[in-house]
Amino acid sequence: MPQDHSDHDVLDGLLKSRHSCRAFEPQLVPKEVVEKILLTAQRVPSWCNSQPWKVTVCQGKTLAALGTTLLEAAQKGMQSPDIDFPQRYSGEYKHRRSVCGWQLYEAVGVTKGDRAASMQQMMQNYSFFGAPHVAIITTPKELGAYGAVDCGAYVTAFTLAAQALGIATIPQAAIAGLAPVVRAQLDLPEDRDILCAISFGYADLDHSANKFRTHRAGLDEVVTWCE
């Protein structure tokens, strides 16, 4: 009997339905579901099959303590990522970033020029948007950009595997901006760069922060055909 949907249709559907969730329900995801996500993500390809990612999954008291410490550091203005953040966004990249930001602000009722409200929304990063779990992704310093690229692929696989199981996610670079705090709090080794966090759990579907979706560029904007 033919399948109703091809593998491509399933993958395309997951990519279309997945979004960065910024409000979560408090209940924990069962450990066996988390393990399914991790096992699926582990299948992602990597350079020479090096599989450079290490994943530290936090919840409960550990997550609460991490969030408290991160928030205190963020309020002091501390920023010290292991991997340099972008020097700037310009042109089309600046435009896309701006549109995404204003979509979020409009969804949660932050008006233009309200710096206090925008800062309050930004600080939600350090409470992991209420997610009951966070996965900290690290990569070996010695592998440089290629290790980071492989870990980026892992993040994508993780988010899609989670989506397939009804679990919402948001990859967060903001957490990596406070790398020394994360490293000290979780006793992570110095020879690994903290790349990002993935907060995950069940989405709060009624929250306004989850009511918008970002746009994707057309092929004409990103593809050059050489024949």
| pLDDT band (50, 70, 90) for residue 168 | very high
Give the model's confidence band at 169: pLDDT under 50 very low, under 70 low, under 90 confident, else very high.
Answer: very high
pLDDT in tens, 21-36: 999 999 999 999 999 9
In the chain, % of residues over pLDDT 70? 99
Residue 211 CA: distances (Å) to CA of 115, 117, 158: 22, 18, 22
pLDDT above 50 for 181:
yes
What residues does each domain of the chain span? 26-84+128-209
| In the chain, % of residues over pLDDT 90 | 85
* pLDDT recorded at residue 182: 97
Q: Which token pair is 167?
A: 């679990």
The two structure tokens encoding residue 220 = 């004409």
pLDDT at residue 108 in the model: 86
**What is the separation of C-alpha 160 from the centre of its chain, rounded to a whole number of angstroms?**
12
Backbone phi, then psi, for 169, in 5-degree steps? -140, 160
Report the pLDDT averaged over residues 139-143: 98
Determine the pLDDT at residue 1.
44
**pLDDT, mean over the chain:** 94
**pLDDT of 71-111, one tens digit each?**
999 999 888 999 999 999 999 999 999 999 888 888 888 88
DSSP of 73-123? HHHTT----SSPPPS---HHHHHHHHHHHHHHHHHHTPPTT-HHHHHHHHG
Among the residue ranges 7-21, 35-49, 70-84, 105-119, the one predicted with the least confidence is 105-119
CATH code 3.40.109.10 for 26-84+128-209: yes
Q: Write down the pLDDT at residue 95.
A: 94
> Who has greater pLDDT, 104 or 1?
104
Which pLDDT belongs to residue 2?
A: 52
Backbone angles phi, psi at 165, to 5 degrees: -105, 10
